[in-house]
Amino acid sequence: MSNTTHTVSCTVTAAKTALSMGSGSLEVFATPAMSALMEKAAAELLQQQLPDGDTSVGTQIEVWHNAASPVGVTVTATAELLSFDGKKATFTLRAQDEFGPIGEGSHTRAVITASRFMDRLAQKKPVQK
């Protein structure tokens, strides 16, 4: 894989706070929002290497959210590819805001054929109670 890191960013808005997302009671950048930003960086990095029709899905994510970010600041997340065997990719993740590091973690993604995945999903039936 030619590119082994990818960075994405977002501005902390009211919609991305713990209060709005239901993960806490404060108007600070929510852990689920940070996790999603980190996963986006990994997904975009891997997608650059996949053929048309293939995509990836997250199968594992572990994050530590170490510092709060207020509304209005920019948060960046960087994914670094550790390994990729053609079917599974593993990443390290880092996030920071304008004041310094705010989080880190690890992530695994599985490569899938989008049409096959969606066909199988359409076959799912609700569990009978």
For residue 21, the domain's CATH number is 3.10.129.10
Domains of the chain: total: 1
Residue 128 is assigned to a structural domain of this protein: no
Q: Which residues are catalytic?
A: 31, 39, 65
For range 49-58, the mean pLDDT: 96
Calculate the average pLDDT of the chain: 96
Rounded Cα gap, residues 125 and 99, in angstroms: 48
pLDDT tens digits along 77-114? 999 999 999 999 999 999 999 999 999 999 999 999 99
Task: Name the 3-class secondary structure at 123.
Answer: coil
Domain membership of residue 57 as a residue range? 5-122
Position 129 confidence tier, pLDDT thresholds 50, 70, 90 = confident
Annotated binding site for CoA: 58
Residue 129 is assigned to a structural domain of this protein: no
Assess whether pLDDT exceeds 70 at residue 126.
yes
Instruction: Say what the alpha-carbon torsion angle 65, 92, 16, 54 is, to the nearest 10 degrees.
Output: -150
Rounded Cα gap, residues 99 and 78, in angstroms: 16
Residue 77 is assigned to a structural domain of this protein: yes
Annotated binding site for substrate: 58, 109
Does an H or E element contain 41, and which? helix 31-47
Annotated binding site: 58, 109
pTM over 0.85: yes
Residue 102 is assigned to a structural domain of this protein: yes
Residue 22 is assigned to a structural domain of this protein: yes
